[in-house]
Chain A
Amino acid sequence: MATPSSFEASMPTVPHGESGDFEAMWDILRSALREIHEKNASQLSFEQLYRASYKIVLKKQGDRLYDRVKEFEEQWFGAQVMPTIRKLITNNLVNITVGGLSGTTANERRLTGEEFMKGLKASWEDHITVMNMTTDVLMYMDRVYCADNRKASIFTTAMGLFRDHILRSPLSAVDSNLITFDILNSVILDQIAMERQGDVINKHHIRSCVYMLEGLYETDEEKEEDKLYLTSFEPAFLQASRAFYAQECLALLRDSTASDWLRKTKKRLAEEEARCQTTIANSTKAKITKVVEQEMISKHLSEFLVMEGSGLQAMIENDRYGDLASLYEVISRVDPEKKPLCEAVESRVVALGLQVNKVIEETDFSAAGAEDGEAGEGPAKPAKKNSGAAMTAGALKWVEEVLRLKNKFDRMANDCFNSDPLLEQSITNSFRAFINQFPRCSEYVSLFIDDNLKRGIKGKTEAEVDILLDKATTFIQYIQDKDMFERYYKKHLARRLLQNKSESSEVEKQMISRMKMEMGNAFTSKLEGMFKDLAMSDELTAGYQNYIRNLGDLDRKQIDLNISVLTTNNWPTDSMGGGSAEREENRKSCNWPPEITTLQESFKAFYLKERNGRMLTWLGYQGNADVKMEFPKIPGKSGTRSFLMNCPTYSMLILLLFNDLALDETISFEEIQERTNIPTNDLVKSLYTLSVVPKGKVLNKHPNNKEKPKKGDAFSFNPTFTSKAIKFKAPVISGQISNKVEGEDERKQTEKDNDKSRSIMIDATIVRTMKARQTLSHLDLFTQVIQQLASRFKPDIPMMKKQIESLIEREYMERVDGAETATYRYLA
């Protein structure tokens, strides 16, 4: 148990005479420091040294201690450390550093470099160990003196001393401005250069030196961005790398292929990344990667892309998917927009697409020429028929070629471009561009769908049909003039529906719903209306038959009626007949025989019972009839010969005329025309099938030749007609029934019709816009209208101007007088 007096007795005695005291303490510490540096510390009492430094600081001699320790370190560096290091700096190393060539082999250079790094690393590691111990001894000084006086800790200071007295110590051996650091940088860079050439180097030594540079700072404030690694080594490394890669890239450009370049670039990038991890610092990764990207990729990218035989064109044409994938990877690194790649792919797609267009157009040309030679729509002859079929086949081929191209690029986008949205957009854009450069794209696509819905999907699984529909839908999206497409689709669909050519109404509906999804309700409402009409017609037919049965009026000659009531707006009535609108008048007033008229009246009564006020127009050029014909006996054969022929309505009308004629009586072309009032074109066609084509030759033509019927011809019943089947279908003239490519005239007509409906839409859009805005500048109006119509078609500017003029004339709007820019005002 301590007593107060014992405390007093054991109170540490602090002698006075501070200076002498200090020297005594310092002597202890100095000799200890020497021992520590010489690695003999194990004989020193730490407590004694701690106590010595504690007392010095307590006696306010901290600054002197601090300075003495610094001084000691400086002397130690000068006397002990630098001489060793200088010995390692051979003349060769100096020569490399100053840029001269060394007379030694790479291997010797590598070995001397390694020795130097090893020596430097050893002195650094010694320094760290020694300073850790010194710091322990001077712990109290750090805590009290350095903290209170805002001085860097003795450790930091000692690190600074190492930087100044070792790394920045001039090489006295040679009279130059070189310092140790220059040698170190050049040695490391030299070693890395060797590694890039394929030599094996000792990464461990470099790493140690890099660690040293990362532990040292420009100033004693030890700011993170002031690391010597960052301020001295890294810039030199990046600069050397830049030079190396610039040269390498030029060599590749000169001597190698784009494919080699891609491989090399990828390899180099991977190497540099690995180097950052194993040899230098990880923090350099982003920077060196950038250097490689700039030098190896960005600088000469366009030159590599156009390289003959191995550039982008060759890659795409030869399906070098590996190269393309590498190229994508490489370009993605330097350009997030991948512009060069996008542009190159785009131009390739367009070039390939235009090639497809050209091939088809050239085929078309010969076919069309043949048709022109035949002078329009004459009766089909074998050669002619073939050319029409060939054109249709050409249309299908075009679509298939484009789809093949699309598949190729889709696969490429998926396999090589990682389904990059930008590239997919480019591909889409370029497809759109060349497809819309092809004037008949709408028609061909619709024909393609028509062909598939009629025949193509036979025997295909649901999944396959799905893929097909997807392709078709994508294709439709590419088409700019959606209205044109709709026109063709309607026409083709109408034929499919009315003639029961469609393979599956299920698939038809799927197609419609797809289009609805992609292009909106407005696009498909009429198409859906067509389906509705047909469903309604089935009900009507059933209802009508029921109605007739209930009338009990069974005594008259029964004609079964299947009726299709078509809403005028939904159906392309003008184009279904294959004729032009000008002949509409004639058609409507074709003369119906009494049997038919009765039937029509009866149906009309039934129909209007529930739907008052509607107008029914009978379309003679549509529909067909089963006509039962009885022929006289042929000697040697038994029974009357009776055949059931399915023929178009017009043919039925003609045949009915012969009921009143004797077997050998004839009737002239003119008389038939007068009595039936069938348009000349249709009459010629119908008579041709009835009197010339052998399969349905129930009439005799006088004169009896194979030319098409014309005025002055006469016709009589053909009593010798025979057919293998009791029930048969009258032969058809191609083009009248099946969907095929339009001829030049037809096409012109279609374009004219389309322009007409476009002008109506433009009118409507202009009026709607003006009504909403009241006044609008010319430019704004155009922008608005174009924007609103974009989903349907791209309005023609002269047409828009024309429509505006006409609207002004009709007083829907007026020009605003005195406005700075042309402006319009809406007139209510």
Chain B
Amino acid sequence: MSLLSTISSLRSDDKYTDLEIRCQGKVFNVHKAIVCKQVEFFAACVDGNFQESQTGVIEMKEDIPEIVDYYTVKTKTPAVETSESTIDLDRSELLLHSYMYTIADKYMVEKLCAIAAQRFKSAIWKAGEKDLHTFTSVLKAVFEGSPEDDRVFKDLCIAFSCEWYRKLGEREDFRNFCRANGDVCLEILDKQSALKELAFKSCAEAAKQSIAPCQKCNPPQFPAFHFGDSQNNVRAPRSTNIFGPPEGLGTRNGTSIFLRTT
């Protein structure tokens, strides 16, 4: 058995675990050597002269057990896993990733932040009407659970809200969220007007030059975004970076996002 596979096999059972993480009644047995090396928070728990170092138990009172599970699994794994089969959260992928991002940010696990951001990005491209019922929770998690300057998720959520504002507007939970978070609501509004204007301008430009939109330039792996309602099929000219690169975007985890439309 190689050293790497030995370490890797450690997470398959609770044997030799030496640290207990409790979260809302759930118990996770982990290895200090692995979690503390990856997460400073755990290291501080174990090394600091606090209660946790005496008891060997860390109570994570306000975190979500499933996420903690996922989170501890992640941090227990020496090599970052790429498959998403660990937890079956297909139907609420956006929510999973935003929670994951929140917890990763809280405990300052930058690698996990980056993975969550990556996943969230690809998930929001695929997201559609079926995701609307959890989207308000996503917004809550994103706007309340990450630092103010961290725009990675926020810009993506605003764009998504712009696309679906009519449908979202019909949902009571979304309306309540808007009532409580006027600034987010304002952001959506600003974005929406900016998009309209941009779309109008470029449409006029395209008509003037009689250039037909080029279908080939639409890479199939990137699903097209629809702006405004779906019937009004106005397209922005190709290679316009709608989102930026926006200022402050991705400054914390180093990912920048470019959405390309045709």
A contact residues vs B (CB 8 Å cutoff)? 1-4, 6-8, 10-12, 14, 16, 41-51, 54, 57-58, 60, 129, 132-133, 136-137, 139-140, 143-144, 148
Chain B residues whose CB sits within 8 angstroms of the CB of A45 once the complex forms: 50-52, 59
Point out which of A2, A3, A42 has the most chain B C-beta atoms below 10 A from its C-beta.
A2
Other 9 A-B pairs with CB < 8 A, given A4-B91, A8-B137, A46-B53: A2-B89, A4-B92, A7-B66, A10-B64, A12-B63, A41-B49, A49-B50, A139-B41, A144-B147
Interface pair A133/B108, CB less than 8 Å apart = no
Complex Cα distance A348/B111, Å?
A: 77
Residue of A nearest to B59 (CB): A47
Question: 0/1 per residue, B32-60, Cβ < 8 Å to A?
Answer: 00000000110011011111111000111
Interface of A is mostly: helix
Chain A residues whose CB sits within 8 angstroms of the CB of B47 once the complex forms: 136
Interface pair A140/B106, CB less than 8 Å apart = yes
Chain B residues whose CB sits within 8 angstroms of the CB of A60 once the complex forms: 148
10 contacts between A and B (CB under 8 A): A1-B88, A11-B64, A45-B51, A45-B52, A46-B48, A47-B52, A54-B106, A58-B146, A133-B50, A144-B147
Interface pair B147/A57, CB less than 8 Å apart = yes
Complex Cα distance A264/B143, Å?
A: 74
Residue of A nearest to B110 (CB): A143
Q: Is B133 an interface residue (CB 8 A)?
A: yes
Chain B residues whose CB sits within 8 angstroms of the CB of A2 once the complex forms: 64, 66, 87, 89
Given the interface pairs A4-B92, A50-B41, A148-B147, the reply to whether A42 lies near B50 with Cβ below 8 Å is yes
Complex Cα distance A139/B107, Å?
A: 9
Given the interface pairs A2-B87, A47-B45, the reply to whether A12 lies near B62 with Cβ below 8 Å is yes
Chain B residues whose CB sits within 8 angstroms of the CB of A16 once the complex forms: 180
Segment 132-176 of B: residues with Cβ below 8 Å from A: 133-134, 137, 140-141, 144-149
Chain B residues whose CB sits within 8 angstroms of the CB of A47 once the complex forms: 45, 52, 58-61
Complex Cα distance A58/B49, Å?
A: 25
Interface of B is mostly: helix
Chain A residues whose CB sits within 8 angstroms of the CB of B116 once the complex forms: none
Residue of A nearest to B22 (CB): A47
Complex Cα distance A45/B44, Å?
A: 11
Chain A residues whose CB sits within 8 angstroms of the CB of B61 once the complex forms: 47-48, 51
Q: Is B95 an interface residue (CB 8 A)?
A: yes
Interface pair A46/B52, CB less than 8 Å apart = yes
Segment 115-144 of B: residues with Cβ below 8 Å from A: 133-134, 137, 140-141, 144
Complex Cα distance A645/B45, Å?
A: 120
Chain A residues whose CB sits within 8 angstroms of the CB of B101 once the complex forms: none
Interface pair B147/A46, CB less than 8 Å apart = no
Chain B residues whose CB sits within 8 angstroms of the CB of A144 once the complex forms: 147
Interface pair B134/A46, CB less than 8 Å apart = no
Chain B residues whose CB sits within 8 angstroms of the CB of A14 once the complex forms: 144
Interface pair A42/B106, CB less than 8 Å apart = no
Complex Cα distance A46/B49, Å?
A: 9
Q: Is B227 an interface residue (CB 8 A)?
A: no
Q: Is B24 an interface residue (CB 8 A)?
A: yes
Chain B residues whose CB sits within 8 angstroms of the CB of A58 once the complex forms: 144-147
Given the interface pairs A8-B134, A57-B147, A58-B147, the reply to whether A42 lies near B89 with Cβ below 8 Å is no
Q: Which of B24, B44, B99, B144 contacts A46 (CB 8 A)?
A: B44
Least CB distance, A131 to chain B, in whole angstroms = 12
Least CB distance, B113 to chain A, in whole angstroms = 12
Point out which of A4, A129, A143 has the most chain B C-beta atoms below 10 A from its C-beta.
A4
Complex Cα distance A204/B167, Å?
A: 74
Residue of A nearest to B140 (CB): A11
Residue of B nearest to A55 (CB): B62
Point out which of A46, A133, A137 has the most chain B C-beta atoms below 10 A from its C-beta.
A46
Given the interface pairs A4-B133, A41-B48, A47-B52, the reply to whether A139 lies near B145 with Cβ below 8 Å is no
Complex Cα distance A412/B247, Å?
A: 77
Question: 0/1 per residue, B161-198, Cβ < 8 Å to A?
Answer: 00000000000000000001000000000000000000
Interface pair A42/B54, CB less than 8 Å apart = yes
Least CB distance, B193 to chain A, in whole angstroms = 27
Residue of A nearest to B148 (CB): A60
Complex Cα distance A47/B50, Å?
A: 9
Interface pair A11/B45, CB less than 8 Å apart = no
Complex Cα distance A41/B144, Å?
A: 31
